[in-house]
Amino acid sequence: MMFARRALLLGATAALTGCDRLARNDQFRRALFSAENFHKWAQRSLMARDALAQEFRPDQISPIFRANGTANPNTPAYKAIWRTGFADWRLRVDGMVARPLSLSLSQMHALPHREQITRHDCVEGWSAIGKWRGVPLRILLDAAGLRRDARYIVFHCADDMGGGRPYYESIDLVDAFHPQTILAFALNDRPLSVANGAPLRLRVERQLGYKQAKYLMRIEAVDSLDAIGRGKGGFWEDVAGYDWYAGI
Ligand SMILES: Nc1nc2c(c(=O)[nH]1)N[C@H]1C(S)=C(S)[C@@H](COP(=O)(O)O)O[C@H]1N2
Ligand SMILES: [Mo]
């Protein structure tokens, strides 16, 4: 009991430094500061996989952050949201959650952000250092009320990889609640470009490039990856046998 209360206070203090906007919103506050969520976080932070990825200095940022894979989804649906400056885009958060969310880009901008300068490593043999700004994924998962039986978070993208099948990826809850796992809407202090995943992309900094899903449309909480694509948890995992766990 005492531990729980003290832990709750510590958690609230830590979260408040970056989250003053959030703290003014009662619903988010209740979800984020609940003892249950705090314990989930505290337990995970004891594990090595919660170690932070290296962060870099501003002068180390790559002059160009090259685009790889899809550089423009170019589908009718994507063109339609692009034409409105993404005003009509919504991020859905659903699946095994108590309260499904549908968030606009301006709502994402109003949530607490995190900024990080990190290195992206693509398996094809190139790297780039970029400064990302975005909303920690855990804030959305807490707000949506992730169910206790959820085990993975699946990211559904806007680009068609053939046969109407969009790019998709998934991560486990250790990565989902990792402090550097953010939904980024800015790269190097500019709104995310189409080439780099506009309007929103995942940054999961302890993982290789193909896990960094661009053009996010929907985030789904599931208890199994069996029904996602061909069951390996991601587009490249399914079609090319890439490892699902791409930790670096
Ligand atoms: N939706 C979507 N996300 C994606 C890809 C893609 O083709 N489509 N390619 C992946 C790969 S292999 C890499 S290396 C990075 C490239 O991100 P960048 O284009 O910003 O460099 O995005 C990843 N996420
Ligand atoms: Mo990649």
DSSP string for 178-227: -TT-EEEEEETTEEPPTTTTTT-EEE-TTB-GGGS--SEEEEEEES-STT
CATH number at residue 143: 3.90.420.10
Pocket of ligand 1 (CB under 6 A): 65-70, 122, 157, 159, 167, 196-197, 209-210, 212-215
In ligand 1, the atom with minimum distance to the C-alpha of 209 is 14
Distances (CA, A) of 16 to 9, 112, 136, 173: 10, 10, 14, 23
Claim to verify: residue 26 and residue 136 sit in the same structural domain:
no
pLDDT at position 146 = 98
Query: How many angstroms separate the alpha carbon of residue 92 from the centre of ligand 2?
Result: 25
The residue segments making up the domain with residue 88 are: 58-240
Q: Give 10-residue mean pLDDT values along the chain (248 residues).
A: 41 43 58 63 65 97 98 98 98 98 98 98 97 98 98 98 95 98 98 98 98 98 97 97 94
Claim to verify: residue 134 and residue 186 sit in the same structural domain:
yes
Q: Which residue has the tokens 């994507």?
A: 78
Amino acid at 222: V
Claim to verify: residue 85 and residue 204 sit in the same structural domain:
yes
pLDDT at position 90 = 98
pLDDT at position 28 = 63
pLDDT at position 144 = 98
pLDDT at position 48 = 79
Cβ contacts of 54 within 8 Å, gap of 6 or more: 118, 119
The count of structural domains within the chain is 2
pTM for the model stands at 0.83
pLDDT at position 9 = 41
Query: How many angstroms separate the alpha carbon of residue 128 from the centre of ligand 1?
Result: 13
Q: Is residue 247 part of a domain?
A: no
